[in-house]
Amino acid sequence: MPTQPIVRLGHPALRTPLEAVDGERLSDPEIRRALDDLVATLREAGSDGLAAPQLGLELQIFAYEVAEGDGRVAGAIPLRVVINPMITPHGHEQVADWEGCLSIPELRGLVPRHGEVRVRGLDPDGNRLDYVAEGLEARIVQHEYDHLNGVVFLDRMRDLRSLAYEAEWRRYLRDAGEEPEPTALG
Ligand code: NI
């Protein structure tokens, strides 16, 4: 399966709010290829999630997955591919945690996110998705959803003073007992 280069901050696709994918087009070869590239590149990059604009594709699609044994979640977060997502907060809890982004390499920052979100959209077969994500999954979903609206995690930080290079973050800021190390969210 081919993988595609990940575009970085400055590429217009990362700052362009996208039109929804026409549900009738899900079987088009162009869309199927985009879906395959997204999943293959997500796995190759070893991140938690990836959104289509990060491949320079102006499609409202993101994918995420956390493998069994990762240690940050009980069990695993199975692969989800979500098309035309709509995200709404579920409850009022806000949680701050560290995020990184494949399109903003080597940086980490503290980002407040909703603790739980309701996710609606379509799966690659055109079936309706409607589920609640919490914890790490909720954070991944919000990070990836933002990519579809031209928003990156830097925009969500309340205080840019927590921004750090990964090496320094690992050395000075990360909780000493924290295992395993968080990865880039996507
Ligand atoms: Ni990202």
pLDDT per residue, tens digit, the chain (186 aa), is 568 899 999 999 999 999 899 999 999 999 999 999 999 999 999 999 999 999 999 999 999 999 887 878 888 999 999 999 999 999 889 999 999 999 999 999 999 999 999 999 999 999 999 999 999 999 999 999 999 999 999 999 999 999 999 999 988 888 766 655 656 678
Residues β-bridged to residue 77: 66
Which H, E and C letters describe 67-117, residue by residue?
A: CCCCCCCCCCEEEEEEEEEEEEECCCCEEEEEEEECCEEEEEEEEEEECEE
Q: How far is the CA of 101 from the centre of ligand 1 (A)?
A: 4
This prediction has a pTM of 0.93
Choosing from 65, 99, 137, 144, the catalytic residue is 144
Sign of CA dihedral 185, 176, 70, 2: positive
C-alpha distance across the termini of the chain, in Å: 19
Q: How far is the CA of 151 from the centre of ligand 1 (A)?
A: 9
Q: How far is the CA of 143 from the centre of ligand 1 (A)?
A: 6
Measured CA to CA, the distance from residue 84 to residue 182 in angstroms comes to 27
pLDDT on residue 86: 97
178 is catalytic: no
Which residues are CB-neighbours of 87 under 8 A, at least 6 positions away? Answer: 117, 118, 119, 120, 141, 142, 145
pLDDT on residue 131: 98
Q: How far is the CA of 81 from the centre of ligand 1 (A)?
A: 15
Instruction: Identify which of 79, 77, 86 has the alpha carbon closest to the alpha carbon of residue 122.
Output: 86
Would you state the torsion angle of the CA atoms of residues 83, 98, 37, 35, taken in this order, to the nearest 10 degrees? Answer: -10
pLDDT on residue 3: 82
